[in-house]
Amino acid sequence: MELPPLGDKVEPDALRELSDDGLDAIGGELQSAERATIAAMAPYEQHLREIRMRATELATERRRRERAQQVAQRAGVREAAKSGGMPSLAAALASSEELFDATTVLTDVHAFLSTGGGVGFGFATRPGTMTFTDGRQQRQARTWGEARELHALGWDPGAPGIPGVRVHLAGSRVERVVPAADVVLDISEGSDPLP
């Protein structure tokens, strides 16, 4: 599409020599060109608004599906936790069975709160550690084997005076300390850890 005519440019030196009527005439031409340009742009602006509205609708549908998937996943975790399909961290540490290879790093253990939300062990900024205490001192476990060894020695998850496991919500910096019984583990083969 061809742009509306703009007219010839008048140099600043030439503007000084024009009369008031001459300046008004140039101003009128510019206003006319501006109105014609705005009118020519209107269909494109309307087209852009329609594109943006459709993109927003698409994003809304994607978010709705993600929320539905998260709700279903959380319900599945809660059901598995109730039925025993996902043992609690406390039960897994005390179990005589080896639920994970001893060299499995804690960032690879797929864990959830018993309410269904995915979590990672340790601080959000330093993930993959579990603190154990004997009541006076504390040690860090970075692998499942280290965690099991400390638990076998009578050490409990937590720090002196702060019982529980420090976890962070998957994909966020939100952290909390929760009882080991409130964390459940996905022991199914091929489960992917949360980010």
pLDDT of residue 192: 43
pLDDT above 80 (res 188): no
Per residue in 38-69, pLDDT (tens digit) is 988 999 999 999 999 999 999 999 999 998 88
What's this model's pTM, rounded to 2 decimal places? 0.60
Whole-angstrom CA distances from 118 to 31, 66, 153, 193 are 61, 14, 28, 9
User: In sequence order, what are the beta bridge partners of 178?
Assistant: 165
The chain-wide mean pLDDT, for the chain, equals 87
Q: Cα(23)–Cα(25) distance, rounded to whole angstroms? A: 5
Domain boundaries, the chain: 12-81, 86-185
> To which residue do tokens 């978010």 refer?
63
At 115, list the tokens: 């309410």
pLDDT of residue 89: 92
pLDDT above 60 (res 190): no
**When comparing pLDDT for 11 and 129, which is higher?**
129
Per residue in 157-186, pLDDT (tens digit) is 999 888 999 999 888 889 999 999 999 998
Q: Cα(47)–Cα(4) distance, rounded to whole angstroms? A: 20
141 near 132, Cβ under 8 Å?
yes
pLDDT above 80 (res 21): yes
**When comparing pLDDT for 83 and 34, which is higher?**
34
Q: Cα(19)–Cα(96) distance, rounded to whole angstroms? A: 101
Name the band, by pLDDT with cuts 50, 70 and 90, for residue 98: confident
Q: Cα(90)–Cα(182) distance, rounded to whole angstroms? A: 8
Name the band, by pLDDT with cuts 50, 70 and 90, for residue 189: low
Strands 130-133 and 138-141, how do they pair? antiparallel
